[in-house]
Amino acid sequence: MVAIHGKEVTHRSAIAEGFIIFSNPESMNSLLLESNKKGDVISIARIAGIMAVKKTAELIPLCHPISITGIKVDLTPNKKEISVKVRCEVHCDGKTGVEMEALTGATVSLLTVYDMCKAVDKMMRISDCRVVKKSGGKSGDIDLYHPSSNSEHHR
């Protein structure tokens, strides 16, 4: 495990996002119409993501347990793309970043959508789960959507 005892406590945040793409519009309807036999897919996937963020250090070897100060998980259906975008934002005041927590939250939310919808769509795929923004810490800021705001050594 990397030693972080010499680092300063700073505010840190990270946003991870990913997508689940359905194979056809009909299979996405159970999610949109809240008619899935397992329940409200969006709400359950949101709670699963929040729970996953809090359990990250137990799931990822050598990942430091940290004190989370905020979690926000959003799921946004896109009828045109036949997909759902998951966005997980995590905040802490600590000595190490929250990228792994954001990725874990987004991934588990996506897996929950898959699990709850697999009876109606066996061809769904999870795609492009990645950190899109991070701030705080020695390595500086990264923003994939606004590259001009990235710290010097990330350009």
CATH code for the domain of 136: 3.30.70.640
CA torsion angle 66 89 81 34 (round to 10): 90
Beta bridge partners of 76: 85
Residue 119 inside a domain? The answer is yes
Predicted confidence (pLDDT) per residue in 19-72, tens digit: 999 999 988 888 887 778 888 999 999 999 999 999 999 999 999 999 999 999
Q: Of residues 44 and 9, which shows the higher confidence score? A: 44
Residue 5 inside a domain? The answer is no
Tell me which residue has tokens 């923004």: 133
- Assigned token pair, 152: 């010097």
* Total-model pTM: 0.92
Instruction: For residue 122, count other CB atoms closer than 10 A to its CB.
Output: 9
Task: Give the confidence band of 137 by pLDDT, cuts at 50, 70, 90.
Answer: confident
Residue 124 inside a domain? The answer is yes
What amino acid positions are annotated as catalytic residues? 115
Q: Among 2-6, 58-62, 70-74, 116-120, whose mean pLDDT is lowest?
A: 2-6
- Assigned token pair, 24: 């056809």
Residue 148 inside a domain? The answer is no
Domain count, the chain: 1
